[in-house]
A and B are shown apart, each in its own frame.
Chain A
Amino acid sequence: MAAITTTPGAHHDDVDPNASFLEKKGLMSWLVTLDHKRIGIMYLISVTIAFLLGGIFALLVRAELLTQGKTLMDADTYNKMFSLHGVVMVFLFIIPSIPAAMGNIILPIQLGAKDVAFPKLNLLSLYIYWFGACFGLYSMINGGVDTGWTFYTPYSSSDPAHGGVGTATSVIPMTLAAFIMGFSSILTGVNFIATVHKMRAPGLTWRRLTLFTWALYATSIIQVLATPVLAITLLLLTMERFLGLGIFDPRLGGDPVLYQHFFWFYSHPAVYIMIVPGMGVVSDILASFSRREPVGYMAIAASSLGLALLGFLVWGHHLFVAGMSEYATMVFSALTFLVAIPSGVKVFNWVATLYKGSISLQSPMLWALSFIFLFTIGGLTGLFLGMLAVDVHLHDTYFVVAHFHYVMVGGTVMGFVGGLHYWWPKFTGKMYEESWARVGWFFVFIGFNVTFIAQFIMGSRGMPRRYYDYLPQYEIFHQVSTFGSWILGFGFLVLMVMFIRSLMNGKPAPRNPWGSAALEWQTPTPPPTFNFVKDPVLTRGQYDYQLATDDELYEGFDDPLFPGLRGGKAPVKKAAAEGDHG
Chain B
Amino acid sequence: MLSFQPVESDNFQLPPSMADTAPPIDKAYDFIFWFSVVFTVAITAALLYFIVKYKRKPGVKPEPTGHFMKLELFWTITPTIFIFFLFHAGFTGYIRNATAAEGATEIRVRGKKWSWEFEYPTGDREPGELTLELGRPYKMIISSEDVLHSFYIPEFRMKRDAVPGQYSFIQFTPTKAGVANVFCAEYCGTSHSGMLATVKILPPAEYKEWEKKLGDCQGGAEECEPAKWGERLFVKNGCTTCHGAGGTGEIGGSKSPGPKLAGLFGRDENTTAGPVHVDENYLRESILRPNAKIVAGYATVQMPPFVMKDKQLDAVIAYIKSLK
A467 touching B36, Cβ below 8 Å = no
A467 touching B193, Cβ below 8 Å = yes
B62 touching A358, Cβ below 8 Å = yes
Cβ-closest chain A residue relative to B55: A359
Complex alpha-carbon distance, A357 and B158, angstroms: 49
Please tell me which one of the listed residues B39, B51, B252 contacts residue A74 in the complex, with CB atoms under 8 A apart.
Answer: B252
Q: What chain A residues lie within 8 Å of B160 (beta carbons)?
A: 321, 323
Q: What chain B residues lie within 8 Å of A161 (beta carbons)?
A: 300
CB within 8 Å of B: which of A139-178?
Answer: 146-148, 152, 154-155, 158, 160-161, 163, 165-168
Q: What chain B residues lie within 8 Å of A73 (beta carbons)?
A: 252
Q: What chain B residues lie within 8 Å of A393 (beta carbons)?
A: 25, 29, 154, 157-159
Residue B4 CB within 8 A of the other chain? no
Please tell me which one of the listed residues A337, A380, A390, A469 contacts residue B28 in the complex, with CB atoms under 8 A apart.
Answer: A390
Please tell me which one of the listed residues B13, B28, B65 contacts residue A457 in the complex, with CB atoms under 8 A apart.
Answer: B13
**Interface core residue of A167, A323, A369 (most chain B CB under 10 Å):** A323
Residue B248 CB within 8 A of the other chain? no
Please tell me which one of the listed residues B39, B183, B184, B252 contacts residue A380 in the complex, with CB atoms under 8 A apart.
Answer: B39
Residue tally, chain A, CB below 8 Å to B: 98
Residue A232 CB within 8 A of the other chain? no
Complex alpha-carbon distance, A380 and B194, angstroms: 32
Q: What chain B residues lie within 8 Å of A356 (beta carbons)?
A: 54, 62-63
Q: What chain B residues lie within 8 Å of A264 (beta carbons)?
A: none
Please tell me which one of the listed residues A353, A376, A388, A396 contacts residue B43 in the complex, with CB atoms under 8 A apart.
Answer: A376
Residue B251 CB within 8 A of the other chain? yes
A340 touching B72, Cβ below 8 Å = no
**Interface core residue of A322, A329, A357, A471 (most chain B CB under 10 Å):** A357
Residue A497 CB within 8 A of the other chain? no
Cβ-closest chain A residue relative to B71: A352
Residue B146 CB within 8 A of the other chain? yes
Complex alpha-carbon distance, A359 and B302, angstroms: 63
Cβ-closest chain A residue relative to B255: A74
Q: What chain B residues lie within 8 Å of A70 (beta carbons)?
A: 252-253
Q: What chain B residues lie within 8 Å of A69 (beta carbons)?
A: 252
Residue B90 CB within 8 A of the other chain? yes
Stretch at the interface among B78-86, B118-126, B222-230, B276-284: B78-86
Residue A31 CB within 8 A of the other chain? no
Complex alpha-carbon distance, A231 and B55, angstroms: 49
Complex alpha-carbon distance, A148 and B185, angstroms: 13
Q: What chain B residues lie within 8 Å of A236 (beta carbons)?
A: none
B188 touching A155, Cβ below 8 Å = yes
A256 touching B165, Cβ below 8 Å = yes
CB within 8 Å of A: which of B171-186?
Answer: 181, 183-186
A333 touching B91, Cβ below 8 Å = yes
**Interface core residue of A168, A351, A389 (most chain B CB under 10 Å):** A389
B165 touching A250, Cβ below 8 Å = yes
Residue A470 CB within 8 A of the other chain? yes
B72 touching A466, Cβ below 8 Å = no
B29 touching A351, Cβ below 8 Å = no
CB within 8 Å of B: which of A184-237?
Answer: none
CB distance from B224 to the nearest CB of A (A): 28
Complex alpha-carbon distance, A160 and B257, angstroms: 13
Complex alpha-carbon distance, A146 and B257, angstroms: 14
CB distance from A76 to the nearest CB of B (A): 5
Q: What chain A residues lie within 8 Å of B165 (beta carbons)?
A: 250-251, 255-256
B302 touching A165, Cβ below 8 Å = yes
A369 touching B72, Cβ below 8 Å = no
Residue B117 CB within 8 A of the other chain? no
A388 touching B91, Cβ below 8 Å = yes
A358 touching B25, Cβ below 8 Å = no
Complex alpha-carbon distance, A393 and B28, angstroms: 11
Complex alpha-carbon distance, A167 and B187, angstroms: 12
Residue A542 CB within 8 A of the other chain? no
Stretch at the interface among A88-96, A110-118, A272-280, A289-297: A289-297
Q: What chain B residues lie within 8 Å of A295 (beta carbons)?
A: 65, 68, 71
Please tell me which one of the listed residues B65, B68, B158 contacts residue A392 in the complex, with CB atoms under 8 A apart.
Answer: B158
Cβ-closest chain A residue relative to B52: A359
CB distance from A151 to the nearest CB of B (A): 11
B14 touching A461, Cβ below 8 Å = yes
Complex alpha-carbon distance, A463 and B312, angstroms: 32
Residue A355 CB within 8 A of the other chain? yes
B54 touching A359, Cβ below 8 Å = yes
Residue B166 CB within 8 A of the other chain? yes
Residue A439 CB within 8 A of the other chain? no
CB distance from B7 to the nearest CB of A (A): 12
Q: What chain B residues lie within 8 Å of A361 (beta carbons)?
A: 51, 55
Complex alpha-carbon distance, A155 and B86, angstroms: 35
Complex alpha-carbon distance, A461 and B28, angstroms: 15
Q: What chain B residues lie within 8 Å of A469 (beta carbons)?
A: 193-194
Residue B189 CB within 8 A of the other chain? yes
Q: What chain A residues lie within 8 Å of B15 (beta carbons)?
A: 461-462
CB distance from B56 to the nearest CB of A (A): 5
| Contact of A155 with B29 at beta-carbon distance under 8 Å, contacts A291-B62, A393-B159 already known | no
Residue A377 CB within 8 A of the other chain? yes
User: Can you give 17 contacting A-B residue pairs, CB < 8 Å?
Assistant: A257-B163, A292-B64, A292-B65, A338-B83, A344-B76, A345-B75, A355-B54, A356-B63, A380-B35, A387-B32, A387-B93, A389-B90, A389-B93, A392-B94, A392-B158, A457-B13, A460-B14
7 nearest CB pairs, A to B: A250-B165, A462-B154, A387-B90, A389-B93, A70-B252, A388-B94, A74-B254
Given A251-B164, A293-B64, 12 more pairs with CB closer than 8 A? A250-B165, A321-B159, A322-B161, A322-B163, A323-B163, A330-B91, A341-B80, A372-B43, A380-B35, A384-B29, A393-B159, A464-B152
B residues with a Cβ closer than 8 A to A are 9, 12-15, 24-25, 28-29, 32-33, 35-36, 39-40, 43-44, 46-47, 50-51, 54-57, 60-65, 68, 71-72, 75-76, 79-80, 83, 86-87, 89-95, 97-98, 113, 146-148, 150, 152, 154-155, 157-161, 163-166, 168, 181, 183-194, 196, 251-254, 299-302
